[in-house]
Structure 1
Amino acid sequence: MLEAFSDAWNRHDIDALMSFMSDDCVFQTAAGPEACGTRISGPEAVREAFAAAWQAVPDAQWVGGVHFVLNDFGTSQWTFTGTATDGSRIETDGIDVFTFKDGKIKLKNVFRKARPNLPATK
């Protein structure tokens, strides 16, 4: 399931992504004003937040995924790559920590390394 979820991210397929999420889903971002980053609740708000990732980084990809699931808990490790709006390159490691409910993702909690962007390629 987490491999298919990751594939949907890399296809930028919002409908496929949301098919994995529970009706009471929560997304906790890597950054924001709260200790958890920013807590986004409910399918419509989560859908908007997921789609915003591709708006901010149109060539966003999560590569080298390693996935682990045990009962109602799972993780996905990956390297996030893409191009920032100023042309600089993003390449940073991260992990999603998941909680499942009835076979769907209830919580997607993101942790990403804070690494400066790489210079733009010419």
Structure 2
Amino acid sequence: MHSYIDAWRLHDVDAVLTTLTDDCVVIESYGPVYRGRPRVEQWMNAWFAAGGRVDAWDITTHAAAGEFLMAEWSFECTWRGQAGRFEGCSIARLDGDRIAYLREYATSGPLYAWTGTWRDQQ
């Protein structure tokens, strides 16, 4: 998982692909599903060509259990000139030393400390 995220931060498509199995499945938090390394490569090349940039992707918590990996993270990117930031989590299943399945989840709003009433949500 660290190698996958590090490669994205470096904008290194080949390095990302080496972390994945040929028949991998990558599911982004907002819905797209990429099946197989050729599709992941196509997605990454299109994203970078359209001006996508990973500005930061920092793992805050990680764990492993057998063939499963989990990482919580904060993510910052620029997409079509707009900066964005959110927190999320990835769950991965390995096949050998490569990622066969990766699913990402993202927070839907900024985190805040609840103070005991629902009026805090605007």
8 Å CA contact 1:3–1:67 kept in 2: the answer is no
Q: How does 1:75-94 map to 2 (within 5 A)?
A: 75-87=70-82, 89-94=83-88
**What is the Cα-based RMSD across aligned positions, in Å?**
2.1
The amino acid of 1:28's aligned partner reads: I
Count residues in correspondence.
109
**1:72 equivalent in alignment to 2:70:** no
Structure 2 length-normalised TM: 0.76
- For structure 2, list consecutive stretches of 5 or more residues without a partner in the other structure: 111-122
Q: How does 1:103-122 map to 2 (within 5 A)?
A: 103-115=97-109
8 Å CA contact 2:59–2:71 kept in 1: the answer is no
Write the deviation string for residues 55-100 of structure 1: whole angstroms up to 9, x where unpaired.
453243212443222111011211111234354x312101111011
Give the distance between the partners of 1:13 and 1:61, measured in 2 at CA: 14
8 Å CA contact 1:3–1:65 kept in 2: the answer is no
Q: Percent identical across equivalent pairs?
A: 22
Give the distance between the partners of 2:23 and 2:77, measured in 1 at CA: 30
Judged with a 3 Å threshold, the aligned counterparts in structure 2 of structure 1 residues 51 and 60 are, in CA distance, closer, same or farther, namely farther
Q: How does 1:1-122 map to 2 (within 5 A)?
A: 2-31=1-30, 37-54=31-48, 55-87=50-82, 89-115=83-109
8 Å CA contact 1:80–1:93 kept in 2: the answer is yes
Q: Which moved more, 1:60-69 or 1:3-12?
A: 60-69
Structure (1 or 2) with the larger CA radius of gyration: 2
The amino acid of 1:92's aligned partner reads: F
Structure 1 length-normalised TM: 0.76
